[in-house]
Amino acid sequence: MGLVSTWSEAGDLTANRIESVRRGQPAVVAFRYRIRIPEGTINLKEGVDIVHDDDLVVRRFRDVDRRVDSPGLYTWEDAMTFETAEWPLGDLTATAAIGELQLHRTSERVSTTFEVTSA
Q: Are 18 and 6 in contact (CB under 8 A)?
A: no
The pLDDT, as a whole number, for residue 37 is 82
Residue 43 has pLDDT above 90, yes or no: yes
Beta strand 17-18 with 40-52 is: unpaired
pLDDT confidence bin for 80, thresholds 50/70/90: very high
Q: Is the domain defined by 3-117 classed in CATH 3.40.50.300?
A: no
Mean pLDDT over each residue of the chain, to the nearest integer? 94
Which has the minimum average pLDDT: 13-27, 80-94, 101-115? 101-115
Q: 26: how many CB neighbours lie within 10 A of its CB?
A: 12
- Within 8 A by CB and 6+ apart from 109, the residues are 95, 96, 97
Across the range 63-84, mean pLDDT stands at: 94
The pLDDT, as a whole number, for residue 78 is 96
